C-alpha cells in the first residue's frame, strides 16, 4: 500500500544463516562448483508444495516456508526487496494506482509497480534437514549464562557432535564457489581472510550493507577460541576489511558496525561488517561483540574469552539449551 501522508528482525536466530544456505543448497554434492550455463530465470519453485509457514514478519515483509520440491524437503524464504531511491522516478511514472480511501488531505492507494521494481528475494534450502526447519520456526528464546567451564564441559562437546557441514565455507576460501562475489581476498594462511557480501544483502543500496569476512585459519571455531596470539589476524580483518569497503562502496569506517556473533551460526571464525543504522539480524547486545572491543579485551587479558562468562540467547528447541538444562545450568 502507498500512503500520501507517508510512513515507512525477524529474530537473529531465524535469519542469520538463511540467505547463505541458498547458495550452498545442493552445492556440497558438486563440491561448490557453480554452473554458468543455467538460464537467467529458472523457476525451481514450480513444483514447491507448502507444508507449513514456519514464521513470518509483516514489519520485515518476510516469510519462512517449509515444504517439498520434487519430493525433497525444502525451506523457502520470501522477502520483499527495499525500494531504491534511484528507481523512484520510474516507479512513480510507470505504476498503476487504485484509490482505497480519501479523507481531507489524506489519501491511500494500492500501487502496482512494474514487475522488475516489485521483486521478491527468494532463498531456497534444498534438501533441507530437520535442523534447518527448526532453525526457521518461530520460537521462544532464553538467555543462557555460560562460564568458561560451561563452554568446555557443555557447549564444546555439543558443537563437536553436530553435523552441519562447513564445506560451503571451504569452497569460498578455495575459490570453488562465489568467487565472483569476493570484494577482498588476503591469501595469507595465518592472518588472511575473504571478504564478500552476505546473501542477506542484495547489493542494490549501501543503506543495508552487509558483508562477511571469513578467516583462512580453519581451527578457530568462535569467540571462545580466541587468545592474544590471534590479535594479528583480528587487526588485519578489522583494518583491511574497512579499507576494502571504503574503496568499493565509499563507506567510511565511522559508518560501519564490525562485530562477531556468540553463539555463531556456524563454527568457523567470521566477522560481520554492516552499515551503522541498519538493523541487521543479530546485531543486538545479547549476541554481537564489537571487534574493536574484542581486540582491546585480548590486549588486556590474553585469555579473556576462554575464561570469562558470556551470555547469549537460545531458542526453545535448540539442542544446546537442552544440554544446559541437563547440566543444571538453566
Q: Which pLDDT score, from 0 to 100, does residue 281 have? A: 82
Q: What distances in angstroms separate CA 149 from CA 318, 322, 326, one per listed residue?
A: 20, 17, 15
Q: Which of 230, 270, 278, 289 is catalytic?
A: 270
Q: Which residues line the annotated binding site for substrate?
A: 168, 178, 198, 200, 261-272
The C-alpha angle 116, 119, 120, rounded to 5 degrees, equals 170
Q: How confident is the model at residue 151 (pLDDT cuts 50, 70, 90)?
A: very high
Is pLDDT at 210 greater than 60 in this prediction?
yes
CATH of domain 141-327: 3.30.428.10
Q: How far apart are the first and last CA of the chain?
A: 45
pTM comes to 0.69
Q: How many of the other CB atoms lie within 10 Å of CB of 110?
A: 11
pLDDT tens-digit series, residues 53-91: 998 888 778 899 999 998 999 999 998 888 888 899 999
Active site residue 230: no
Helices then strands, each counted (H, E), the chain: 11, 15
Where are the domains positioned within the chain?
Answer: 48-136, 141-327
Q: How far apart are CA 98 and CA 101, in angstroms?
A: 9
Instruction: Compute the average pLDDT of residues 298-316.
Output: 95
Asked if residues 285 and 279 have their Cβ atoms less than 8 Å apart, the reply is no
Q: What distance in Å separates the CA atoms of residue 139 and residue 132, rounded to the nearest whole number?
A: 14
Return mean pLDDT, the chain: 86
pLDDT tens per residue, range 245-287 = 999 999 999 999 999 999 999 999 999 999 999 888 889 899 9
What are the residues facing 174 on neighbouring strands? none
pLDDT at 17 over 80: no
User: Residues within the annotated binding site?
Assistant: 168, 178, 198, 200, 261-272
In whole angstroms, what is the distance from residue 123 CA to residue 69 CA?
A: 13
Round to whole Å and give the CA distance between 81 and 202.
Answer: 8
Report the DSSP beta bridge partners of residue 78.
63, 122
Dihedral, CA of residue 265, residue 148, residue 236 and residue 217, to nearest 10: -60
Whether residue 140 is predicted with pLDDT greater than 90 in this model: the reply is no
User: What's 48-136's CATH class?
Assistant: alpha beta
pLDDT tens digits along 100-130: 989 888 899 999 999 888 888 898 989 988 8
* Residue 330 pLDDT level (bands cut at 50, 70, 90): confident
Bridging pattern class, strands 106-112 and 96-103:
antiparallel
Amino acid at each position: 500500500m502507498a500512503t500520501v501522508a507517508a510512513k515507512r528482525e525477524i529474530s537473529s536466530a531465524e535469519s542469520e544463516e538463511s540467505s547463505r544456505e541458498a547458495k550452498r543448497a545442493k552445492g556440497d554434492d558438486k563440491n561448490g562448483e557453480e554452473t554458468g550455463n543455467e538460464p537467467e530465470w529458472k523457476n525451481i519453485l514450480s513444483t514447491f508444495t507448502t507444508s507449513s509457514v514456519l514464521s513470518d514478519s509483516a514489519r520485515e515483509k518476510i516469510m519462512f516456508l517449509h515444504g517439498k520440491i520434487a519430493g525433497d524437503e525444502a525451506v523457502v524464504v520470501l522477502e520483499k526487496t527495499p525500494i531504491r531511491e534511484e528507481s523512484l522516478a520510474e516507479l512513480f511514472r510507470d505504476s498503476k494506482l487504485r484509490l482505497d480511501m480519501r479523507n481531507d488531505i489524506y489519501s491511500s492507494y494500492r500501487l502496482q509497480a512494474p514487475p522488475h521494481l516489485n521483486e521478491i528475494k527468494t532463498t531456497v534450502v534444498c534438501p533441507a534437514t530437520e535442523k534447518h526447519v527448526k532453525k526457521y520456526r518461530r520460537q521462544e528464546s532464553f538467555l543462557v549464562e555460560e562460564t568458561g567451564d560451561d563452554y568446555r564441559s557443555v557447549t564444546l562437546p555439543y558443537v563437536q557432535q553436530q553435523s552441519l557441514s562447513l564445506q560451503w565455507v571451504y569452497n569460498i576460501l578455495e575459490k570453488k564457489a562465489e568467487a565472483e562475489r569476493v570484494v577482498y581476498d588476503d591469501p595469507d594462511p595465518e592472518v588472511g581472510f575473504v571478504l564478500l557480501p552476505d546473501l542477506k544483502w542484495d547489493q542494490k543500496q549501501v543503506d543495508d550493507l552487509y558483508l562477511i569476512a571469513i578467516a583462512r585459519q580453519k581451527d578457530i571455531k568462535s569467540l571462545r577460541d580466541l587468545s592474544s596470539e590471534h590479535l594479528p589476524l583480528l587487526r588485519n580483518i578489522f583494518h583491511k576489511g574497512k579499507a576494502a569497503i571504503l574503496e568499493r562502496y565509499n563507506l567510511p569506517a565511522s559508518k560501519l558496525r564490525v562485530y562477531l556473533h556468540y553463539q555463531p551460526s556456524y563454527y568457523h571464525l567470521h566477522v560481520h561488517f554492516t552499515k551503522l543504522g541498519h538493523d541487521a539480524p543479530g546485531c543486538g547486545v545479547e549476541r554481537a561483540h564489537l571487534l574493536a572491543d574484542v581486540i582491546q579485551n585480548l590486549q588486556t587479558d590474553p585469555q579473556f574469552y576462554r575464561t570469562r562468562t558470556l551470555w547469549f540467547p537460545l531458542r526453545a528447541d535448540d539442542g544446546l539449551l537442552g544440554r544446559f538444562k541437563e547440566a543444571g545450568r538453566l
